Structure 1
Amino acid sequence: MGFLTRLRTGWALTKDSLRVLRGDPELAVFPLVGGVAGLCYVALLFGGATLVGGLDSQALQIALLFLLYLGTTFVASFATAALMHETRTAFEGGEPSFRSGMAAAWRNKGTLLVWSVVSATVGVVIQLIDSQDNLLAEILAGIVSVAWSILTYFVVPVITFEDVSVREAIHRSGETFKGTWGETAGAHFGVGIVTFLFMLPVVLVAGAVLFLGVGSGSGFGFGASVAVAAVLLVGAYLFSTTLSSIAKTGLYVYATEGRRPGAFEDVDLGHVPD
């Protein structure tokens, strides 16, 4: 199957993912909870670091960076696992529920934690390489970062739906990406376009609201405009994150099981490689 055909498949996958989101908008609750939990974790981490002080040494800075990557990766992976589990429920005609999704993620908490440790370690190593005042080091960091992102693209759904170790999850993720690289690229492109089209008016409206708030000369007006703009931008974030996870779940299902999820009626999966 040619690359352009794969891109068309990815675009169709994106459109059907949007249909799933319209049918079950409650799926966006998972990234909302994950985002709030992540912000709380970051606030507590840096708040504690500020109170403790003494973060001038490189070792402590690295430790803080590792804890930042570890916590945010775990929270994001946990929320994504819950979302993907309920997305699959929606694929099969069931009714997604917040409780069921969180319970499914909780069952895999140990593996998700180990994955977060591995991901945080790699993230810190990449950051240390990139921090060198050397063009070659920056290029190397970029290559490693892209390679790692590709290799681990399907790690969370593998952990969510398969009883495997983190090492096996990474291997399975790489194999799955290899079999669907065109569709994955197409889905990313499709989600990116849809998100851009959605974000553009949101950003324009948010900017206009902020402009009006500043021009009002009122503290209340400015505060209200900031709040409205924040709500609009958070809504756009939830939309893009949820849409991407739905598309990734659909890719995972047909790549690993050789069947088309019922929700993806516009996607021609007859030529998807194993």
Structure 2
Amino acid sequence: MGLRSRLWTGITLARDSVTLLRDHPSLLWFPVAAGAGGIAFFLLAAGGALGLLPLAALVDAPEALLYVGAAVGYFGASFVAVLFTAGLMFATRDVMEGRDPSVRGGLATAWEHKSTLFAWAVVSTLVGLVVRGLQESDNLAGVIAGTLLSMSWAVITYFVVPVAIFEGEDIRGVFGRSVGIVRDTWGESLGAEFGLGFVHGILFLGVAAVAGLVFVVTTNVAAAVAVGLPLAVLAFVVGATLNGIAKVALYEYATTGEPPNYFENVDFDVGGDDRRRPTSPTNRPRGGI
């Protein structure tokens, strides 16, 4: 498959993801609830830490308590986001298999894999903190290292959540399995990222255009923000949902060898040699970190 064909496949994949979302807009509730739940958890953790400050002062450890509260809030918010992402993926596969999606059902099934999802949330958060620290350093080598680590990590972990929830892999096996699927679908994955990035760009350009128009008409920054901010949140929610849908479609194709429902017109193997074999978990060695 040539580069142009891969990119076109990604655009088609993004378009079909939009079609699936249009038919099942209830999927949007997953990222909405993830954001609200994550913020609420962080605020509760921070509030609890602040409430305990007088007691911490008695043992001369107020700063340590604040760090603990921030860590609990940060990791907890990350777990909430991962849990709802997993729920979105379960609900998306329900749609692809002809069933009606359910927020409650998706979350209930995701909760069955809470241990692996929590471990993944902790690992991904720690790596994210390391990457941020490197990228914000004054050392050029550190910035470059942080960028390379971020890109490599994104590739290695692209299918971690689908592998964890659909195959029941523990935290030790999800990374090797994810790498295997990425290796078999690297062209489609790259194309999907391009196609989804194109859709995201259109969404946020639309938000900027509307907010700019409001500012031109009213010459009021507050009015432009009042209109633009909710639209930006909506664009982010739509983008996050489309990402989850497309990732499940790629996973289903990689593991079954057949495009799932809603994605039958995506020619994943255009220009290929038809030698792709499904990367079924039953036909592979189980990997670890």
Q: How many angstroms apart in 2 are the aligned matches of 1:135 and 1:77? A: 32
Query: Aligned residue for 1:256?
Result: 255
Root-mean-square deviation (CA), in Å?
2.8
Mean CA deviation greater in 46-55 or 145-154: 46-55
Q: How does 1:1-274 map to 2 (within 5 A)?
A: 1-49=1-49, 52=53, 66-67=71-72, 69-209=74-214, 215=220, 222=222, 226-270=225-269, 271=272, 273-274=276-277
Q: How many angstroms apart in 1 are the aligned matches of 2:132 and 2:220? A: 41
Structure 1 gaps, min length 5: 217-221
Q: How many angstroms apart in 2 are the aligned matches of 1:177 and 1:20? A: 23
Query: How far is 1:4 from its partner?
Result: 2.3
Secondary structure (helix, strand or coil) at the match of 1:259 reads: coil
Q: Is the 8 Å Cα contact of residues 112 and 159 (structure 1) preserved in structure 2?
A: yes
Secondary structure (helix, strand or coil) at the match of 1:173 reads: helix
Q: How many angstroms apart in 1 are the aligned matches of 2:150 and 2:170? A: 22
Q: Is the 8 Å Cα contact of residues 65 and 124 (structure 1) preserved in structure 2?
A: no
Q: How many angstroms apart in 1 are the aligned matches of 2:77 and 2:187? A: 29
Query: How far is 1:127 from its partner?
Result: 3.5
Q: Is the 8 Å Cα contact of residues 212 and 225 (structure 1) preserved in structure 2?
A: no
TM-score by length of 2: 0.82
Query: How far is 1:43 from its partner?
Result: 2.7
Query: How far is 1:211 from its partner?
Result: 6.5
Query: How far is 1:195 from its partner?
Result: 1.9
TM-score by length of 1: 0.86
Instruction: Specify whether residues 199 and 124 from structure 1 end up closer, same or farther in structure 2 by C-alpha distance, changes over 3 A only.
Output: closer
Tell me the amino acid that sits aligned with residue 163 of structure 1. G
Q: How many angstroms apart in 2 are the aligned matches of 1:24 and 1:204? A: 27
Query: How far is 1:126 from its partner?
Result: 2.9
Query: How far is 1:92 from its partner?
Result: 1.4
Q: Is the 8 Å Cα contact of residues 78 and 105 (structure 1) preserved in structure 2?
A: yes
Q: How many angstroms apart in 1 are the aligned matches of 2:69 and 2:133? A: 13
Q: How many angstroms apart in 1 are the aligned matches of 2:65 and 2:140? A: 26
Q: What is the identity percentage for the equivalent residue pairs of Structure 1 and Structure 2?
A: 41
Deviations 1:169-225 (A, max 9, x none): 111111111111111111111111112212222222234446667749xxxxx5x76
Instruction: Specify whether residues 215 and 2 from structure 1 end up closer, same or farther in structure 2 by C-alpha distance, changes over 3 A only.
Output: closer
Structure 2 gaps, min length 5: 278-289
Q: Is the 8 Å Cα contact of residues 206 and 233 (structure 1) preserved in structure 2?
A: no
